[in-house]
Structure 1
Amino acid sequence: MKLFILGIRGVPAQHGGFETFAEKLALFLVGNDWQVTVYCQEEKGEKIWESDWQGVHRIHIPIKSSGAKGTVAFDWKATCHALSQEGLFLTLGYNTACFNILQRIKGQTNIINMDGIEWRRNKWGPVAKTWFWINERMGCWIGNHLIADHPKIKEHLATRVRNDKITMIPYGGDEVLDADASLLELYGLEPHNYSIIIARPEPENSFLEMVSAFSKKTRNHKLVVLGNFTPGKNGYHKEVMEAASEEVIFPGAIYDTAIIQSLRFHARFYLHGHRVGGTNPSLVEALGAGCAVIAHGNDFNRWVAGEGAAYFIDEASCEALFGELLRDENKKIKMKGASRRRFQECFTWPKILQEYERLLMSWQTNASKE
């Protein structure tokens, strides 16, 4: 049983949700006697080289360009290299799905995880949105089978292809039962006396609405806003920071896993303002840490966090939730329990990875018969 994973920068994970998932899946499958190969993007070197990491075979492709241009170049080279391989292919994301037509022509079996509806995101300009829209369409047609990470994403994809071509498998997360509270001292915080936002500071993630709502009055409570803010370069960042009261803290972007886990685990509330996307990894991680969740009330978030979370639709309703919930200890405890139950029900890694293996096995069997 051979699987090749494309569409990410590589393993071990260093760049976000898809890389984390790829690492988890690769190690899980290797433990179940699969031969797993992951294509990895490298900044140095002239020639492609190979290595092994914890039983996972890696093919390293050096790319001189950086940013989006480098990603496109890497995906092209990885796809071309994959044409000479035999096995099953899993592509994570559809951003360069037009390249995968080569695999379809070659007769290779390629399953594509279609990620979110990227072309709807406000942060992209017209050219990028057009590119993503075209590649979403092509991914739907070219992929032998599609994976949606949320029921609403599956509904969206079903407007492009027949329903039985899509399998819904959400993103997974680790359960966190304890975290080092002493790390909070780095930011002058005390357990349960602050709430937290962890996201990219973009308009579609409702930063301005949440920070403004919190800052309407003195709360005797802190709001910690993680993210890379550059108010001198980004007008939206400047607007968010100017709307913040003295009780709002901007520590910047934090990449230390232990610190982030501690900040998330000991927060009174986890605020999630995302308005676009499927099963968001940061929201799943909040459920896994047993956080009481306050989220934007769209269909994506409501399915993930479930009935135990509190939801807002605008700044006024967010402000009302702060006024109601910051004083209600019993409600907070009930919300935390609901988050853990929802996590156990849908988002544990063993459950997610087993669902992936079952799907891959069905296609492996079909490929073997052919």
Structure 2
Amino acid sequence: MTHELRVAMIGQKGYPPVHGGIERHVAELAVRLARRGIAVDIYSRPHYSDADGPTPESGVRVLRRPSLPTKHLDAISHTVVCTLDSLGRDHDVVHFHALGPGLLAGLPRWLRGRPTVTTVHGLDWQREKWGRVARTVLRWGEQASARLPDRTVVVSRALGAHYAAAHGRDTVCI
């Protein structure tokens, strides 16, 4: 099958899904897109999985890229590296997952004119594990996810209602 459209998935820990809802969500979405003739590159952190290159699913490829594997820098450092990497590739759409990675959703649009999508899986700043600085950055990520991408996707009606009320943003709920 030829793949005329190429999508980059950025923000998940990796592939295949070992644990976590975002990783499973990305894997399921990638397979469904590939079966529709859309090529998908899933960016993966090296400490999450050894996968690198084509997967058993035709049209799905894993791209392992480095990160700074600390609690506060892992996700954002990986997102920066992957976003910059995607700018040099032929991706037609760049799809960010989660609030922190969504901070970079403007770069592909501004630098390459590429459409972006951010999927919001939850309001991460509400989680107790984050300190004050991290919560502030994640709140910025929420604002960015409402303003920067061409489309904001949410995984629940409650998140959709929150984005409508707090940001005046229409979302797609899946």
TM-score range, shorter chain: 0.7 to 0.9
Alignment counterpart, residue 75 of structure 2, candidates 67, 71, 84? 71
**CA drift at 1:124:** 2.4
CA distance in 1, matches of 2:117, 2:76: 19
The structure-2 alpha-carbon separation of the partners of 1:78 and 1:167, relative to structure 1 and needing over 3 Å to count, comes to: same
**CA drift at 1:154:** 0.6
**CA drift at 1:33:** 1.7
Residues 147, 168 of structure 1: 8 Å contact kept: yes
SS at match of 2:134: helix
Residues 118, 132 of structure 1: 8 Å contact kept: yes
Residue 130 of structure 1 is matched in structure 2 by 136
Using the TM superposition, name which of 97-106 and 14-23 deviates more.
Answer: 97-106
CA distance in 2, matches of 1:99, 1:25: 21
CA distance in 1, matches of 2:69, 2:43: 17
CA distance in 1, matches of 2:135, 2:67: 24
Residues 103, 141 of structure 2: 8 Å contact kept: yes
Residue 53 of structure 1 is matched in structure 2 by 55
Residue type at the aligned position of 1:119: W
The 5-angstrom pairing of residues 221-240 of structure 1 reads none
CA distance in 2, matches of 1:5, 1:162: 22
1:145 counterpart = 2:151: yes
CA distance in 1, matches of 2:101, 2:67: 16
TM-score (norm 1): 0.42
Alignment counterpart, residue 97 of structure 1, candidates 102, 108, 127? 102
Residues 97, 135 of structure 1: 8 Å contact kept: yes
The structure-2 alpha-carbon separation of the partners of 1:57 and 1:140, relative to structure 1 and needing over 3 Å to count, comes to: same
Residues 89, 111 of structure 1: 8 Å contact kept: yes
Residues 9, 42 of structure 2: 8 Å contact kept: yes
1:155 counterpart = 2:161: yes
Residue 35 of structure 1 is matched in structure 2 by 39
Residues 50, 58 of structure 1: 8 Å contact kept: yes
Across the aligned residues of Structure 1 and Structure 2, the Cα RMSD in angstroms comes to: 2.0
SS at match of 2:78: helix
CA distance in 2, matches of 1:71, 1:27: 23
Task: For residues 50-91 of structure 1, give each alpha carbon's deviation from its aligned partner in whole angstroms, at most 9, with x where no partner exists.
Answer: 511112111111335333312221111001111123311221
Identify which of structures 1 and 2 has the higher relative contact order when contacts are C-alpha pairs closer than 8 Å and 6+ apart.
Answer: 2
Residue type at the aligned position of 1:92: H
TM-score (norm 2): 0.84
Q: Rg bigger for which structure?
A: 1
Residue type at the aligned position of 1:148: V
CA distance in 2, matches of 1:52, 1:108: 24
Tell me, which stretches of 5 or more residues in structure 1 are unaligned? 170-370
Residues 10, 101 of structure 2: 8 Å contact kept: no
SS at match of 1:67: coil
Residues 99, 141 of structure 2: 8 Å contact kept: yes
CA distance in 2, matches of 1:160, 1:142: 12
Residue 19 of structure 2 is matched in structure 1 by 15
Tell me, which stretches of 5 or more residues in structure 2 are unaligned? none
Q: Which has the higher helix share?
A: 1
Residue 87 of structure 2 is matched in structure 1 by 83
Residue type at the aligned position of 1:161: G
The 5-angstrom pairing of residues 319-330 of structure 1 reads none
Aligned residue pairs, count:
163
